[in-house]
């Protein structure tokens, strides 16, 4: 077996551009109509080390049987149509640039079972930062206040005859309230339903409407990080609920 | 599964510290190699593991995920992970992902060993 080659100088390394630059606090440039920028601007990234609850790694995958596309073709289409694969009750507001390193997206999320607030208002408004993107994968990291502190990686690879699309999350509940929701099964169930629906929609887009989504869970760290309990201050669900009257007024007056 | 393009070599420095020399790519394909290297590094009782990234060619977000899970494993066993030899680019990625708040970064192996005391 030969040794790997020596590292390239950074100005010659094509992978450098795949990563976002560090950010002290998130900043959105434009807020699309309908999005709520309540829990993103000014928030720090959380990441899987900064949350409160148990650390889970969950892998959702779907084999795209009969689809004759390369992993790069699949990821390219996934990036371009990312929000359209989500279930209708959750909304993804990406930047004009799309899925690219350093871009911030706003999210309007429903509750369990697709439940929305009065007038269709989201129950949680939050966001993500695209931290990494290459030809066959891209990753998000969540900010303070999001249900989960963690990373989400979307990828495609070739597995024997068929390509496979995969979502892998490495996440902790961000604060004690979300962790209680996880322990009661509500938050994880909602998360699982979201990504199952996303992969089913993706498979249908590529002509494999009956493809079954598989899921594997691994409990990486069963402990809670009590030093992070104060994350509750940024809880996006609570803040969205408090802001809901303003959301409704804006909706009524079309602003 | 894509074959691993990483070579990990473990060196025992003394009774309490080992160095893992990383060459090549840290991606999802390196999971078992990284886990095996960590097991080898700690099997002789080392409490301090220095990850030497001076031969790192490429690391993607799945590689960062592997480091997070390795860090959790080390913390549970009351071991310390240190890093050295990271290029400016990968130091920025540690900062972006806040790994630098949990894994101390040093310019060289000697500095890491000195800090480990």
Distance from CA of A43 to the nearest CA of B (A): 13
Q: How far apart are CA A211 and CA A245, in angstroms?
A: 41
> Based on the structure, what is the number of domains in chain A?
1
- To the nearest whole Å, the CA of B92 is away from the closest chain A CA by 6
Q: How far is CA A141 from the centre of its chain?
A: 7
* Structural domain of A169: 29-231
Each residue's pLDDT, cut to its tens digit, for chain A (255 residues) gives 444 455 555 656 667 889 999 999 999 888 888 888 889 999 999 999 999 999 999 999 999 999 999 999 999 999 999 999 999 999 999 988 889 999 999 999 988 888 888 878 888 899 999 999 999 999 999 999 999 999 999 999 998 889 999 999 999 999 999 999 999 999 999 999 999 999 999 999 999 998 999 999 999 999 999 999 999 999 999 999 988 887 777 777 765
pTM over 0.95: no
Which residues 6+ apart lie within 8 Å of A58 measured at CB? A168, A169, A171, A191, A192, A195, A215, A216, A217, A218
Its sign, for the CA torsion A104, A105, A110, A113, is negative
Contact call for residues A156 and A166 (beta carbons, < 8 A): yes
Domain spans, chain B: 6-116
Confirm whether A241 is domain-assigned: no
Show residues of chain B in contact with A151, CB under 8 Å: 61, 64-65, 68, 97
Could you tell me if A127 and A28 are in contact, meaning their C-beta atoms sit under 8 angstroms apart? yes
Establish if A19 touches chain B: CB-CB under 8 angstroms.
yes
Specify the DSSP element, H or E, that contains A221: strand A213-221
CB contact under 8 A, A13 and B25: no
Structure tokens given for B27: 């991606």
Q: Is residue A199 part of a domain?
A: yes
- Fold of the domain built from segment(s) B6-116: Transcription Regulator spoIIAA (3.30.750)
In a domain, A18, yes or no: no
Structure tokens at A76: 């390219």
Q: Calculate the CA B107 to chain-centre distance.
A: 14
User: What is the domain-level CATH number for residue A173?
Assistant: 3.30.530.20
């Amino acid at each position: 077996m030969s040794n790997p080659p020596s590292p390239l100088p950074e100005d010659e390394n094509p992978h450098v551009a795949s990563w976002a630059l560090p950010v002290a606090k998130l900043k959105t440039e434009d807020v699309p109509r309908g999005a709520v920028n309540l829990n993103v601007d000014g928030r720090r990234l959380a990441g899987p080390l900064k949350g409160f609850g148990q650390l889970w790694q969950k892998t959702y995958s779907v084999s795209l049987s009969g689809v004759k596309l390369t992993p790069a073709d699949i990821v390219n289409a996934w990036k371009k149509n990312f929000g359209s694969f989500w279930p209708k009750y959750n909304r993804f507001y990406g930047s004009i640039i799309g899925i690219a390193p350093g871009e911030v997206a706003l999210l309007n999320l429903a509750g369990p079972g697709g439940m929305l607030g009065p007038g269709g208002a989201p129950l949680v408004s939050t966001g993500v930062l695209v931290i990494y993107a290459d030809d066959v994968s891209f990753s998000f990291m969540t900010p303070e206040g999001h249900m989960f502190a963690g990373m989400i990686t979307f990828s495609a690879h070739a597995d024997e005859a068929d390509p496979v699309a995969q979502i892998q999350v490495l996440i902790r509940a961000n604060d004690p309230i979300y962790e209680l929701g996880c322990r009661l099964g509500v938050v994880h169930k909602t998360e699982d339903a979201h990504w199952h629906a996303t992969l089913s929609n993706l498979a249908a887009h590529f002509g494999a409407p009956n493809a079954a989504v598989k899921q594997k869970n691994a409990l990486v760290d069963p402990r809670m990080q009590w030093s992070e309990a104060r994350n509750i201050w940024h809880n996006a669900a609570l803040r969205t609920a408090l802001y809901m009257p303003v959301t409704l007024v804006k909706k009524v007056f079309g602003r | 599964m894509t074959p691993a393009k990483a070579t990990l070599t473990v060196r025992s420095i003394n009774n309490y510290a080992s160095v893992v020399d990383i060459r090549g790519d840290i991606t999802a394909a390196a999971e078992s190699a990284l886990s095996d290297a960590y097991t080898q590094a700690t099997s002789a009782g080392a409490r301090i593991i220095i990850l030497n990234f001076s031969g790192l060619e490429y690391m993607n977000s799945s590689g960062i995920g592997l480091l997070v899970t390795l860090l959790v494993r080390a913390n549970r066993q009351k071991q310390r992970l240190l890093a050295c030899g990271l290029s400016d680019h990968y130091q920025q990625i540690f900062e972006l992902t806040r790994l630098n708040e949990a894994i101390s970064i040093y310019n060289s192996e000697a500095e890491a060993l000195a800090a480990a005391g």
